[in-house]
Structure 1
């Protein structure tokens, strides 16, 4: 996710009781399709006293509110040595493990997202952890393996086996700069493979994701994954971000949704991999439009041939603008989720 403002491969079955403007309704969600939320801010929000309200206006566990809106998965970022900054800190190994345990107790599935940084990693920021500064490349390879193995082992020891694990976050230009830049694909592929190997050593069934932004940009994805293939980078799933709001002129999603669909289908066919939209979001003040965006994205991912479309994850739906200043949450100023989240109840 680009910030400019400084969730076992089992079927999940549960009843969701949701009160909306038309009264109470009951929806059953029991498919394996991933309907998720990246929730890295939840612990900080709670620590600063933010109160999450359900549709009835009653204070409730944020994860339960998300689950009751059809979400079956959480995505958790992890940073090496983060600060305690309210918005740009936290997400340490210990905090990530604690949140994973908490989500799993609610029956939710887990995705872990390694940023390999002390703070945000995205197309504009891929700064290596301070503790790794000055290390030569062989040592950096060891750093990546050891840190990844350490976090995965901590999760395993806590009884959590993530279904998916990302090696890097939005890495069109690479990760762990400058050594892991795409200007040096042989080195980047080695760094990726050290993360992959460490994940599989601890949790062989976890699927490894490589993740780029601009999910509607086929050329960007073909170029990157052709290079990944040519240089032997190992992975299981192609992850995409899709944020129409960030595109030039903030166009409506209808102008790019078919490009997203075509890219999803192309990636699955061209590389024989599963695909997943691991980040999506729309403007919080345009809940109807964001609802329609989410329904459309879910439909496009579910339509990928041969069941290779795994799911859709909203980035920080609970990250209310009043707390984070982030404009693309699905939470209103009244402390309650907006209509947008109802999209995850649609089958």
Structure 2
């Protein structure tokens, strides 16, 4: 009897009076939460820095976990690079899985960046992994698929499903040279992208695949590449960009990058993302102004198709690899540059 009364009471609460008649109120439509803007950081150096006991300090000058410092500054996403068989024990599959699990457990969204090399892949370097050098082109396509699937499936088994995956890093002229050099054979490059794409979607159909170029302000480069990929049937979801201005040109390059992002959306119907940014650590105030502006511009991309902005290695400082575009000062304390991500 009590159960019946509870049900009747619940039913009565769901009734409204319409024209004198009691009718069940229509359930309110569920609001669909918009996908949050990705405020990200590539921290692929972090595990190596921690191995060598580099310390990180928060705004108050207290030693703290670098990821927590980033999180407290609005960072919600972490990007990690993968090399195939690097000579050091960092940025390999085991290291990436360890760091991705750590980041995911802290509530970060994850991007995985495949370099398809044993070392840095960038506009000037797209060197095949040593173990792949003797492979013919079909063998290369299979190697891309197998490596991509293996890393992502291992992550999945550890409870991490990346939201985004880059198939190649700063592939201005393709990857896995010479076979996949875009200026030599756009068709080959497109096929390699498709091998990576197929592997990503096999592990998780919802993961977004990114094709990533540097110089996000260079519209002619992007049109050349993505016209070519379209003509050759390349499959991808997002166009990624890098942007590394200096204090004399950041305003001009930011506007050109916004123009380019809007053109990519209009021309190819794709979403866009700033996969890497950085500015000289010696001028954090200007860096904050630059970051605030490029974040605002990416949010303003037409159709809401600007997905996010990722700072490249903000945790770097001092003499670490002689890189000068981190967001921590020379003693390892976070600077105001990262306050741009708090908005």
For normalisation by structure 1, the TM-score amounts to 0.88
Which residue number in structure 2 is paired with residue 185 of structure 1? 186
Write out aligned runs for 1:117-196 (5 A).
Answer: 117-182=117-182, 183-196=184-197
Which residue number in structure 1 is paired with residue 316 of structure 2? 319
Which residue number in structure 2 is paired with residue 101 of structure 1? 101
Contact 1:113–1:165 under 8 Å retained in 2: yes
Which residue number in structure 2 is paired with residue 3 of structure 1? none
- The alpha carbon displacement at 1:237 in A equals 0.3
Which residue number in structure 2 is paired with residue 272 of structure 1? 269
- The alpha carbon displacement at 1:323 in A equals 2.2
Which residue number in structure 1 is paired with residue 204 of structure 2? 203
4+ aligned runs moved over 2 Å, structure 1: 321-324
Gaps of 5+ in 1: 1-9, 12-29
Aligned residues: CA RMSD: 1.4
**Partner Cα separation in structure 2 for residue 62 and residue 118 of structure 1:** 26
Contact 1:265–1:305 under 8 Å retained in 2: yes
Aligned length: 311
Q: Secondary structure at the match of 1:321?
A: coil
Q: Does 1:53 pair with 2:50? A: no
Which residue number in structure 2 is paired with residue 34 of structure 1? 38
Instruction: Show CA shifts across 1:124-181 (max 9, x none).
Output: 1100100001111111111111111100110100000000000000001100011000
Write out aligned runs for 1:225-264 (5 A).
Answer: 225-245=226-246, 251-264=248-261
Gaps of 5+ in 2: 1-31
Which residue number in structure 2 is paired with residue 62 of structure 1? 66
The worse-fitting range, judged by mean Cα deviation, of 129-138 and 250-259 is 250-259
Which residue number in structure 2 is paired with residue 79 of structure 1? 83
Q: Secondary structure at the match of 1:311?
A: strand
Contact 1:321–1:329 under 8 Å retained in 2: no
Q: Does 1:338 pair with 2:342? A: no
Contact 1:38–1:313 under 8 Å retained in 2: yes
Which residue number in structure 1 is paired with residue 288 of structure 2? 291
Contact 1:303–1:309 under 8 Å retained in 2: yes
Which residue number in structure 2 is paired with residue 217 of structure 1? 218
- The alpha carbon displacement at 1:31 in A equals 7.3
Q: Secondary structure at the match of 1:276?
A: strand
Is the alpha carbon distance of 1:305 and 1:91 closer, same or farther for their aligned partners in structure 2, counting shifts above 3 Å?
A: same
For normalisation by structure 2, the TM-score amounts to 0.89
Instruction: Show CA shifts across 1:259-296 (max 9, x none).
Output: 11100111011100100000001100010110000001
Instruction: Show CA shifts across 1:174-217 (max 9, x none).
Output: 00011000111111111110000001001111000000000001
**Partner Cα separation in structure 1 for residue 249 and residue 301 of structure 2:** 22
Q: Which has the larger radius of gyration?
A: 2
Contact 1:238–1:276 under 8 Å retained in 2: yes
- The alpha carbon displacement at 1:257 in A equals 1.6
Contact 2:278–2:325 under 8 Å retained in 1: yes
